[in-house]
Amino acid sequence: MSGTGRLRLLMTVDAVGGVWTYALDLAAGLAGHGVGTVLAVMGPAPAPDQAAAALRVPRLRLVETGLPLEWLAESPAEVVAAGHALARLAEETGADILHLNAPGPAAGAAFSMPVLIACHSCLATWWRAVRTGPMPADFTWRTELVARAYRKADCLVAPSAAFAAATRAAYGLAAPPMVVRNGRRAAGSAGTPQARPVAFTAGRLWDDGKDAATLDRAAALLPFPVVAAGPVEGPNGARAALAHLRLLGRLPEAEVAGYLAARPIFASAARYEPFGLTVLEAAQAGCALVLADTPVFRELWEGVAQFAPVGDAQAFAEAMRGLAEDGERRAALGVAAQERARRYGIGAQVDAMLAAYRGLLRGMAGGTGRGVAA
């Protein structure tokens, strides 16, 4: 650490999905403990509103590296080269800890500081949740890189116990990653509920793991709109054809918060969701939740959400229609979700991550060795 004893962190991030929100919230919380963060952006550059949000975080420096994300890279060599570039950046910035939000770069590089990998998602667990049969070759080599990275890391963390178990199973780890549930800063007080029922969803609509197609089919069965915020085209060329959702495109964070403040019915049909920050945002705003019946969503929202079977558009439509027609139950579920959301505050996440970082530094100083056992 620096001469003042303050922790210096190099954290990788991408601007494509929820990892961006995760990284900014975590960096802001860590800044309150004197931690300085260099945020190394990999993949596409952040949008103007994203970059502006980063500038508002104290003790944060943003570096656009131009390095490829592992799921967009064209070869293993590109990912390994990215790891070497990050090792140089970590040395240049004097980082005490390297926090990787995508694991691939750790597969082939050597780092002089401890490496923590946050297991947000991966192709192996995505494939098991979304597809069947053997993975294609371009998934296989990426998964092999991730496996190597996980075994070289000094610490793995995952945002839910269910996803930690899925990660352990997919990679044959001796133990699951440590569970550090994601947190989110609440956007503020809720607004006035809309007079007419409306449902809302948000996220990467192009990602089959989010299963916007099920909500699209459900929307065709409803007498009120299902509004969807998020891109329908991904940087990997994926595109979602959605005929019945009312599409808003990608919205800045403040606009999403505005929609949630009106307390619509919030729906997520995601069949693959390691945590679900947007669900947490909706709960914080007091929205009634209709969620896919998955182990992660059950773990986090059991008892305060209505669940529908994965891929069952009819069941999603019936759940949303029932809540639209029963304002008392809708309000009660919104209050219950808001209360549950208090468990997932940013303070608890920051404290847990600080404990993990400091444990790594003590282990390095004590010469306890490196790597996660397989």
Q: Which of 100, 102, 101 is nearest to 114 (CA)?
A: 100
pTM given for the model: 0.94
**259 shares a domain with 245:** yes
Strand partners, 116: 99, 155
**209 shares a domain with 179:** no
224 domain residue, yes or no: yes
**243 shares a domain with 310:** yes
Give the phi and the psi of residue 161 in degrees, each rounded to 5. -65, -35
CA atoms of 250 and 232, how far apart (whole Å): 9
Query: In which domain, by residue range, is 260 found?
Result: 199-344
Residues 6+ apart with CB under 8 A from 11: 23, 26, 27, 37, 38, 39, 40, 98, 99, 100, 101
pLDDT digits (tens, 9 = 90+) for 41-95: 999 999 999 999 999 999 999 999 999 998 899 999 999 999 999 999 999 999 9
362 domain residue, yes or no: yes
Q: 245 vs 184, 205, 259, CA distance in Å?
A: 27, 11, 15
∠341-346-350 over CA atoms, to 5°?
A: 140
**21 shares a domain with 104:** yes
**281 shares a domain with 132:** no
105 domain residue, yes or no: yes
**334 shares a domain with 239:** yes
What per-residue confidence (pLDDT) applies to 128?
97
CA atoms of 277 and 22, how far apart (whole Å): 8
374 domain residue, yes or no: no
Strand-by-strand arrangement of the 226-229 sheet: 246-249, 226-229, 199-202, 265-268, 289-292, 306-308
372 domain residue, yes or no: no
189 domain residue, yes or no: no
What per-residue confidence (pLDDT) applies to 363?
87
What per-residue confidence (pLDDT) applies to 369?
53
Using 50 as the pLDDT threshold, list the residues of the chain that sit under it. 3-4, 373-374
Q: Which of 146, 200, 198, 196 is nearest to 173 (CA)?
A: 146
26 domain residue, yes or no: yes
**106 shares a domain with 63:** yes
Q: What is the DSSP string of 115-178?
A: EEEE----HHHHHHHH--SSPPHHHHHHHHHHHHHHHH-SEEEESSHHHHHHHHHHHT-SSPPE
**226 shares a domain with 308:** yes
**283 shares a domain with 218:** yes
**362 shares a domain with 258:** no
69 domain residue, yes or no: yes
Domain count, the chain: 2
**334 shares a domain with 227:** yes
**Residue type for 73, please?**
A
**140 shares a domain with 100:** yes
pLDDT digits (tens, 9 = 90+) for 213-261: 999 999 999 999 999 999 999 999 999 999 999 999 999 999 999 999 9
Tell me the CATH number at 178.
3.40.50.2000
What per-residue confidence (pLDDT) applies to 343?
95
What per-residue confidence (pLDDT) applies to 188?
61
Give the phi and the psi of residue 115 in degrees, each rounded to 5. -120, 120
